[in-house]
Amino acid sequence: MPASTVSRLVIVGGGTAGWMSAAFLSSLFPSRQLSLTVVESAEIGTIGVGEATIPPIQVFNRAAGIDEAAFLRATEGTYKLGIEFVDWLRPGHRYMHPFGQPGQAINGASFHAWWLRLRAAGYPHPLSDFWMSEVLARKNRFDFPSTDPRTPKSGLAYAYHFDAGLYAQFLRQIAESRGVRRIEATVANVALDGADGTVSHLDLADGRRVEGDFFIDCTGFRALLIGQALGQGYEDWSHYLPANRAVAVPSQRVAPPVPYTSATARTAGWQWRINLRHRTGNGYVYVSDLISDDEAAATLLANLDAPVLDDPRFLRFTTGRRRSRHKNVLAVGLSSGFLEPLESTSIHFIQHALIKFAATFPLAKDDPVSAGIFNRIMAEELEQVRDFLVFHYHANQRVGEPLWDRARAMPIPDSLAEKMALFRARGFAIFPNQTLFQEPNWLAVMLGQGLEPQAYDPLTDGAPLEEVRSGFDAMRRTIAQVADGCRPHEAFLDDGAAAVMARARA
Ligand code: FAD
């Protein structure tokens, strides 16, 4: 008896989610065990604007058997060390959410607790001076993290910016080379088995029929299988995150690409800027009640630093989620829900779903026990990230602008209120180990958004202040020197393959 009776898996949709699913699953399951088919429509386009990622994507790429240098070349990719938030607290203010962490814990207290103690005594240097990812990003330099805890490079972490369309093509080549079958056609009907309500097959518009034991719905916002065929409803989170439109436009590259994403607050939302090797990605995420599409496009175009390369593209969405695994269907990508791209988390949720799906792979077509666990894990992760995004809006001082006034006044989830209270009381940001955004992530954004702790960790009171101060001063100098010794980001990209190989040998 095989461990699972699922041997034919059909992926519907050939966007980022569809091809990530195919590349990942084909690296885990040999084709003799699991046959994989991707059905993608030439008539229905992809969203194709997911360009910024977060560090866990490296785990996914490795698991999918992807070579970093080849991937960066194929996708016009750049490195990413964090996200800069401009004007979010108030106009004229900026801060960064850098990846990685500042310093190491000392005597049981986190690094930032020592810094808070110093600051309470008048220490003038910001925490960002001790955050290697931010120091490098600000100097437009790059290097890989080190496993040696004695160097500040051990605190680095990185992700990528890339062209999402090229990423899907790259993944498609990998998946097809491993035997994944591709069918180009539009699905006209999703047929259910009358006996148990599972999906039995797909009827294609050209008359063909595709059968499978299990189906992955990667049809984007259409949610053709999970929503339309299986009727899984959508939980709307617009009351927390009201942005519901975006307008995106690529522009010419004008300067060497910086290794961070920019998010600039605007009256009705915020504007992203993502440096790729061959162009710059730009977009304005906005609330349609507060600004018309034409005004949003005009604002975006007025805030570019180079000529556009295409017409602006308008996108609509509703923030929220749905139960993404039901019967013999798993929804991956936009079909499972959407959180605005403020912290670049959508592609992460694709990989998270795939990794958790593999860990709870269905033992039979309909495996409600595995599905139940999977759905709980996804729901918890999404809620944690939702809280993180809500916090960016809620903790603002942009007085007199309806979006921002409302965000300050809105009721927030209890889970977020608790995190804020803890941080305000004593500068802690402790969270369950399993969640995506951990203490350093919240710390950067909480301090950046002006949330001030009223006390510092008593564990830091044991050491003489002068000793702590001179230790910090020395560390600050070392970090600046090490950063100055790293290569410019673009030079690093130019010989990326050599650098990746050197790292593999180190
Ligand atoms: P889509 O790209 O919509 O693909 C759907 C696929 O389904 C297509 O291939 C289509 O042909 C196929 N299809 C649909 N119906 C049928 C049918 N009947 N028959 C056959 N095929 C069908 N994510 C990030 O991680 N970082 C970002 O910076 C980021 N920025 C974003 C900005 C905006 C404004 C938006 C809206 C999203 C952003 N995302 C970002 C999210 C990211 O774009 C998506 O997560 C990603 O593109 C996955 O999309 P998808 O594959 O689920 O859907």
**250-260 pLDDT per residue, tens:** 999 999 999 99
> 245: which strand partners?
286, 316
Q: Ligand 1 centre and the CA of 252: distance in Å?
A: 24
Q: How far apart are CA 383 and CA 112, in angstroms?
A: 26
Roughly what angle, to the nearest 10 degrees, separates helices 368-394 and 346-359? 160
Residue nearest to atom 14 of ligand 1 (CA): 219
Atom of ligand 1 nearest to the CA of 17: 51
311: Cβ–Cβ under 8 A, 6 or more apart, which residues?
249
Best substitution site from 49, 293, 313, 351 to test ligand 1's pocket, by max atoms within 8 Å of Cβ?
49
| Other CB atoms within 10 Å distance of the CB of residue 132 | 28
Q: Ligand 1 centre and the CA of 276: distance in Å?
A: 19
- Widest Cα–Cα separation across the chain: 79
Range in 5-19, 226-240, 487-501 the model is least confident about: 487-501
Confidence at residue 495, expressed as pLDDT on a 0 to 100 scale: 78
**Residue 71: its H or E element:** helix 68-75
Q: How far apart are CA 506 and CA 423, in angstroms?
A: 39
Best substitution site from 19, 38, 46, 57 to test ligand 1's pocket, by max atoms within 8 Å of Cβ?
46
Domain ranges, ordered by start, for the chain: 8-77+162-237+319-367, 245-316
Q: Is 189 in the pocket of ligand 1 (CB under 6 A)?
A: no
Q: Is 22 in the pocket of ligand 1 (CB under 6 A)?
A: no
Q: Which CATH superfamily is domain 8-77+162-237+319-367 in?
A: FAD/NAD(P)-binding domain (3.50.50.60)
Atom of ligand 1 nearest to the CA of 285: 34
pLDDT confidence of 499, banded at 50, 70, 90? low
Q: How far apart are CA 416 and CA 390, in angstroms?
A: 8
Residue nearest to atom 33 of ligand 1 (CA): 49
Atom of ligand 1 nearest to the CA of 14: 9
Residue nearest to atom 45 of ligand 1 (CA): 346
Q: Mean pLDDT in the chain?
A: 95
Q: What is the mean pLDDT of residues 283-307?
A: 98
Taking a C-beta distance cutoff of 8 angstroms, is the pair 427, 456 a contact?
A: yes
Q: How far apart are CA 287 and CA 293, in angstroms?
A: 10
Taking a C-beta distance cutoff of 8 angstroms, is the pair 94, 137 a contact?
A: no
Active site residue 80: yes
Which of 250, 240, 78 is closest to 159 using CA atoms?
78
Residue whose pair of structure tokens reads 């709980």 in the numeric block = 376
Q: Ligand 1 centre and the CA of 388: distance in Å?
A: 22
Q: Is 186 in the pocket of ligand 1 (CB under 6 A)?
A: yes
Confidence at residue 48, expressed as pLDDT on a 0 to 100 scale: 82
Q: Is 247 in the pocket of ligand 1 (CB under 6 A)?
A: no
Q: What is the mean pLDDT of residues 397-407?
A: 98
Taking a C-beta distance cutoff of 8 angstroms, is the pair 156, 162 a contact?
A: no
Q: How far apart are CA 201 and CA 203, in angstroms?
A: 7
Query: pLDDT tens digit string along 35-93?
Result: 999 999 999 999 988 799 999 999 999 999 999 999 999 999 999 999 999 999 999 99
Q: Is 15 in the pocket of ligand 1 (CB under 6 A)?
A: yes
User: Left, alpha or beta for 502 (phi > 0: left; psi -120 to 50: alpha)?
Assistant: alpha
Q: Is 246 in the pocket of ligand 1 (CB under 6 A)?
A: yes
Query: pLDDT tens digit string along 350-392?
Result: 999 999 999 999 999 999 999 999 999 999 999 999 999 999 9
344: Cβ–Cβ under 8 A, 6 or more apart, which residues?
52, 53, 54, 83, 159, 261
Would you say residue 17 has pLDDT above 80? yes
Q: Ligand 1 centre and the CA of 42: distance in Å?
A: 14
Would you say residue 506 has pLDDT above 60? no
Which of 337, 322, 331 is closest to 224 using CA atoms?
331
Q: Is 346 in the pocket of ligand 1 (CB under 6 A)?
A: yes
Q: Is 324 in the pocket of ligand 1 (CB under 6 A)?
A: no
Q: Ligand 1 centre and the CA of 333: distance in Å?
A: 7
Query: pLDDT tens digit string along 100-156?
Result: 999 888 888 899 999 999 999 999 999 999 999 999 999 999 999 999 999 999 999
Q: Is 41 in the pocket of ligand 1 (CB under 6 A)?
A: yes
Would you say residue 433 has pLDDT above 70? no
Would you say residue 411 has pLDDT above 60? yes
Q: Ligand 1 centre and the CA of 111: distance in Å?
A: 39
Taking a C-beta distance cutoff of 8 angstroms, is the pair 145, 153 a contact?
A: yes
80, 153, 356, 365: the active-site residue: 80
pLDDT confidence of 192, banded at 50, 70, 90? very high
| Other CB atoms within 10 Å distance of the CB of residue 425 | 11
Atom of ligand 1 nearest to the CA of 187: 19
Q: How far apart are CA 20 and CA 216, in angstroms?
A: 11
Q: Is 14 in the pocket of ligand 1 (CB under 6 A)?
A: yes
Q: Is 315 in the pocket of ligand 1 (CB under 6 A)?
A: yes
Which of 419, 423, 394, 420 is closest to 409 using CA atoms?
394
Q: Ligand 1 centre and the CA of 505: distance in Å?
A: 37
Q: Is 344 in the pocket of ligand 1 (CB under 6 A)?
A: yes
